């Protein structure tokens, strides 16, 4: 009997133990059924930590419960009371949660559900460095807590210690898991010194939820570990913070700032009023390899900003502001059933918004009408929006632009240059808004001159995420002329192709930029002259903006049929003579020139094939049959693109050279009368003087043989101020003499 009694006692104790363990696991496991970031008992946690609770299913917040921060000694630091959350649209006049960012009180939403996670953060200055804390979370903050297995988090079950103060070495890491110098963008921006910070901020892959505002700090770079991996997102809009200054997710005001490889998202839903993902204002801001998502007013850009390789998505005026902004190779994506890409508000002292080589796309076929841009009203009469060689999707209507008919658009510039459809074909722009215009090639080239566009600033984009051909980030290996990865850590030496494309060949460039020797069959140039010095006259300008030229400039003739350059050359002997022209042609097509020798058009043309870029120079040869003596040589453009940019003229044949323009005189019949006439100066930029020994009549004839003036019975006269640049003839007593206006 005693044995049986003890056996029952043991069985009872086992049952009690099982019940205890069951209850223990029910309550304890429910406390740890979620993933905590940072983990419980973590050390060296960033003092600006954003906290994260992740569940197996999507949690649902409700207007109940508290999330509280305590020091490890039990002192309350801050509480987020969700019972204060306004009902309905969360935009009540009395807002429960605010934070001082950049000296301004901003309404914030401290708790957010994103996917299966709840993110929350306390005030940016709530936690100190090197201090112990714990967090409590009421079960009632989630309406579906029970189904998630969440029973709340009580005191000392989510504890951590913050890290020591980062060293002010101006290189900082931001990591969402709390293992970096900082856990939020706002935290690191607050830490930067005022003025010229000269800092580099690396943002590790992760989701960063909340707002970030900064001003008064310059010269820093924020670079993401990867564009798709770094997500900076938040809820903010004009209803929550009713000002263009404070309704963005990120607001950066400063000079010499780089934003690289980041994604910005404003989570305000469609129809939720103006909601910028980024507001940027400053001089010399570079934004590269970034994505921007919102609906209305996605980015507000002011100051001087260069945007490259970015995607910007929105619907209504989603690119706007008073800035001078150049977008290079970006995607402009419409995401609603119709709106406007751009609203520019620049004044007449600066340029507005220019888009070069961009693609205008849409998220779906539901977007049927998206205008290139619209006016900003009568208050902005100098608005400027320009598209250069952009690819337009079918959602861009035939009219292109939205311009109020009552607006005086005489100073508004809404313009395109060679827009193409998604198949690459030029778009028929005959139906465009009558107040818009199509640019000429020279005007488009002017817009691509960033120094001109930004009035004295040429942006430099930092290298980002670049790997060499050996796969080393920032490495120095490169592809040699034979297509082999050499240098760096490859241990390989490269082969070299000569200028004729022969591996390890012996051909080389001569002084005229011609490929000679080797297998070319060409001999070297004997001498070379700078085009700006050698030309007698030209229709165009001297330029020096496209690097790679020799001398002080190159000649850029006007883009039109018939524009020309005139040279004077001398041949010692008669026969075939070769000259060469060093040129650049960044256009897609050959630029051809008619050859005119001593006023007579030859039955041939000279082609200047595309060099790919206006900074790449090549040489073409021209062979002429010349009589001994001096000659005028003219290159006259055949197409509306004009000529190539001419940098040098090379004298390949040894017995030809430049001769002074005024010495090249074409005369008819006997030259004996030349002693009776003097034309000076020749050439001239302004007027000419003619003196003759006896009174006579003199006709002035242009290059086409048309008489433009007659002077009767004169011995001396001054004329020519009204003449356009070019060459002319003075005819008297059946004699003809040439003079040049340049």
* Residue ending a domain, choose from 278, 311, 344: 311
Whether residue 494 has pLDDT greater than 90: no
Co-location of 327 and 304 in the same domain: no
Co-location of 414 and 446 in the same domain: yes
Burial (Cβ within 10 Å: 0-12, 13-18, ≥19) of residue 705: exposed
Quote the CA–CA distance of 200 and 168 in Å, as a whole number.
11
Asked if residue 473 belongs to a domain, the reply is no
Co-location of 287 and 187 in the same domain: yes
Instruction: Find residue 718's DSSP bridge partners.
Output: 689
Question: According to the model, what pLDDT value does residue 266 have?
Answer: 97
Whether residue 375 has pLDDT greater than 90: yes
Residues 652-665: what's their mean pLDDT? 76
DSSP classification of residue 400:
-
Tens digits of residue pLDDT in 151-172: 999 999 999 999 999 988 889 9
| CATH code assigned at 340 | 2.160.20.10
**Torsion of the alpha carbons at 521, 524, 525 and 527, rounded to the nearest 10:** -170
Question: According to the model, what pLDDT value does residue 26 have?
Answer: 38
Quote the CA–CA distance of 735 and 360 in Å, as a whole number.
63
Quote the CA–CA distance of 413 and 446 in Å, as a whole number.
14
Quote the CA–CA distance of 331 and 298 in Å, as a whole number.
14
Q: Give the mean pLDDT of the chain.
A: 88
Residue 223 contacts residue 203 (beta carbons within 8 Å): yes
Question: According to the model, what pLDDT value does residue 485 have?
Answer: 87
Whether residue 233 has pLDDT greater than 90: yes
Quote the CA–CA distance of 610 and 627 in Å, as a whole number.
32
Residues 6 or more apart in contact with residue 354 via CB below 8 angstroms: 325, 326, 327, 384, 385, 386, 387, 388, 447, 453
Question: According to the model, what pLDDT value does residue 672 have?
Answer: 42
First vs last Cα of the chain: how many Å apart? Answer: 132
| CATH code assigned at 39 | 2.60.40.1220
Residue 515 contacts residue 500 (beta carbons within 8 Å): yes
Co-location of 436 and 398 in the same domain: yes
Quote the CA–CA distance of 349 and 421 in Å, as a whole number.
33
What is the band of 504 on the pLDDT scale with cuts at 50, 70, 90? confident
Question: According to the model, what pLDDT value does residue 670 have?
Answer: 34
Structure tokens at 501: 């494309």
Co-location of 320 and 234 in the same domain: no
Co-location of 450 and 380 in the same domain: yes
What is the band of 88 on the pLDDT scale with cuts at 50, 70, 90? low
Centre a 10 Å sphere on the Cβ of residue 474 and count the other Cβ atoms it contains.
10
* Residue ending a domain, choose from 283, 311, 339: 311
Co-location of 324 and 451 in the same domain: yes
Asked if residue 377 belongs to a domain, the reply is yes
Q: How many residues does the chain have?
A: 742
User: Which range has the worst mean pLDDT, 103-117, 172-186, 641-655, 694-708?
Assistant: 694-708
Co-location of 546 and 597 in the same domain: yes
Whether residue 662 has pLDDT greater than 80: no
In whole angstroms, what separates CA 429 from the centre of its chain? 25
Co-location of 531 and 635 in the same domain: yes
Residues 6 or more apart in contact with residue 600 via CB below 8 angstroms: none
Cα Rg of the chain, angstroms: 37
Residue 613 contacts residue 548 (beta carbons within 8 Å): no
Q: Into how many domains does the chain fold?
A: 6
Tens digits of residue pLDDT in 275-318: 999 999 999 999 999 999 999 999 999 999 999 999 999 999 99
Co-location of 127 and 63 in the same domain: yes
Asked if residue 489 belongs to a domain, the reply is no
Question: According to the model, what pLDDT value does residue 109 have?
Answer: 93
More confident: 314 or 691? 314
Whether residue 353 has pLDDT greater than 90: yes
Residues 222-243: what's their mean pLDDT? 93
Global pTM reads 0.63
Sheet holding 111-114, edge to edge: 35-37, 51-54, 117-120, 111-114
* Residue ending a domain, choose from 311, 329, 362: 311
Co-location of 639 and 546 in the same domain: yes
Question: According to the model, what pLDDT value does residue 643 have?
Answer: 95
Asked if residue 75 belongs to a domain, the reply is yes
Among 446, 432, 364, 361, which residue's Cα sits nearest to residue 399?
432
Quote the CA–CA distance of 586 and 445 in Å, as a whole number.
10
In whole angstroms, what separates CA 159 from the centre of its chain? 46
Asked if residue 102 belongs to a domain, the reply is no
Give the domain extent around 223: 167-311
Residue 46 contacts residue 162 (beta carbons within 8 Å): yes
Residues 542-568: what's their mean pLDDT? 89
Asked if residue 644 belongs to a domain, the reply is yes
Co-location of 82 and 2 in the same domain: no
**Percent of the chain whose pLDDT exceeds 90:** 63
What is the band of 33 on the pLDDT scale with cuts at 50, 70, 90? low
Asked if residue 101 belongs to a domain, the reply is no
- Tell me how far CA of residue 499 lies from CA of 346, 467, 496, 507, 509, in angstroms: 48, 28, 10, 6, 7
Instruction: Give the H or E element holding residue 381.
Output: none
Asked if residue 496 belongs to a domain, the reply is no
Instruction: Find residue 515's DSSP bridge partners.
Output: 509
Positive or negative: CA dihedral 270, 271, 272, 275: positive
Positive or negative: CA dihedral 420, 422, 424, 426: negative
């Amino acid at each position: 009997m005693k044995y049986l009694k003890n056996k029952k006692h043991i069985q009872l104790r086992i049952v009690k133990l099982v019940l205890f363990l069951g209850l223990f696991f029910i309550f304890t496991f429910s406390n740890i059924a979620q993933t905590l970031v940072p983990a419980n008992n973590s050390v060296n946690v960033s003092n600006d930590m954003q906290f994260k609770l992740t569940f197996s299913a999507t949690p649902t917040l409700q207007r109940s419960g508290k999330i509280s921060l305590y020091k490890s000694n039990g002192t309350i630091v801050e509480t987020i009371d969700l019972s204060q959350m306004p009902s309905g649209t969360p935009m009540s006049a009395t807002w429960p949660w605010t934070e001082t960012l950049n000296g301004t009180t901003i309404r914030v939403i401290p708790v957010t559900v994103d996917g299966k996670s709840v993110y929350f953060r306390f005030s940016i200055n709530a936690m100190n460095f090197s201090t112990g804390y714990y967090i409590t979370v009421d079960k009632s903050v989630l309406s579906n807590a029970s189904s998630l297995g969440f029973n709340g988090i009580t005191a000392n079950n989510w504890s951590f210690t913050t890290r020591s103060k980062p060293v002010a070495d101006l290189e900082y890491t931001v990591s969402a898991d709390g293992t970096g110098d900082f856990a939020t963008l706002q935290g690191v921006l607050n830490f930067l010194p005022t003025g010229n910070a000269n800092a580099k901020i690396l943002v590790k892959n992760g989701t960063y939820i909340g707002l970030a505002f900064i001003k008064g700090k310059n010269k820093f770079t924020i670079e993401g570990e990867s564009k798709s991996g770094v997500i900076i997102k938040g809820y903010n809009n004009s209803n929550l913070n009713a000002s263009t200054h404070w309704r963005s997710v990120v607001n950066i005001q400063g000079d010499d700032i780089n934003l690289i490889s980041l994604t910005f998202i404003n989570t305000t839903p469609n129809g939720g009023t103006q909601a910028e993902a980024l507001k940027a204002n400053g001089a010399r801001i570079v934004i590269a390899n970034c994505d921007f998502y919102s609906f209305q007013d996605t980015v507000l850009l002011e100051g001087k900003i260069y945007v490259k390789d970015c995607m910007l998505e929105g619907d209504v005026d989603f690119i706007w502001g008073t800035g001078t902004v150049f977008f290079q190779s970006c995607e402009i994506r419409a995401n609603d059933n119709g709106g406007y890409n751009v609203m520019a508000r620049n004044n007449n002292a600066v340029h507005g918004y220019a888009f070069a080589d961009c693609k205008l796309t849409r998220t779906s076929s539901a977007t049927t009408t998206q205008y290139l841009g619209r006016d900003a009203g009568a208050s902005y009469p100098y608005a400027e929006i320009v598209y250069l060689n952009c690819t337009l999707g079918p959602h861009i209507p035939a009219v292109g632009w939205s311009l109020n008919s009552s607006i005086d658009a005489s100073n508004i510039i809404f313009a395109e240059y060679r827009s193409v459809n998604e198949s690459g074909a030029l778009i028929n722009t005959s139906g465009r808004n009558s107040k818009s215009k199509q640019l000429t090639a020279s005007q488009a080239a002017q817009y691509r001159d960033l120094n001109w566009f930004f009035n004295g600033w040429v942006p430099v984009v930092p290298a980002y995420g670049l790997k060499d051909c050996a796969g080393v980030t920032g490495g120095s290996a490169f592809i040699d002329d034979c297509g082999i990865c050499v240098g760096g850590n490859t241990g390989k030496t490269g082969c070299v192709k000569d200028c004729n494309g022969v591996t390890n060949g012996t051909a080389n460039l001569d002084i005229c930029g011609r490929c000679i020797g080797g297998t070319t069959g060409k001999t070297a140039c004997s001498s070379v002259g700078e085009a700006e010095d050698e030309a007698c006259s030209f229709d165009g300008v001297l330029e020096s903006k496209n690097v790679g030229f020799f001398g002080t400039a190159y000649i850029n003739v006007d883009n039109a049929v018939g524009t020309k350059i005139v040279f004077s050359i001398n041949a010692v002997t008669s026969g075939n003579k070769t000259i060469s022209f060093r040129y650049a042609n960044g256009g897609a097509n050959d630029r051809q020139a008619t050859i005119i020798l001593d006023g007579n058009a030859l039955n041939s043309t000279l082609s200047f094939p595309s060099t790919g870029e206006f900074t790449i120079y090549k040489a073409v040869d021209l062979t002429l049959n010349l009589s001994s003596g001096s000659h005028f040589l003219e290159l006259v453009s055949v197409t509306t693109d004009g000529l190539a940019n001419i940098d040098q003229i090379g004298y390949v044949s040894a017995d030809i050279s430049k001769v002074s323009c005024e010495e090249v005189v074409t005369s008819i019949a006997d030259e004996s009368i030349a002693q009776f006439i003097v034309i000076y100066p020749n050439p001239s930029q302004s007027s000419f003087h003619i003196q003759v020994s006896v009174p006579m009549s003199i006709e002035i004839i242009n290059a086409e043989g048309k008489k433009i003036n007659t002077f009767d019975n004169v011995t001396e006269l001054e004329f020519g101020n009204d003449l356009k640049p070019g060459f002319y003839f003075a005819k008297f007593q059946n004699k003809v003499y040439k003079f040049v206006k340049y």
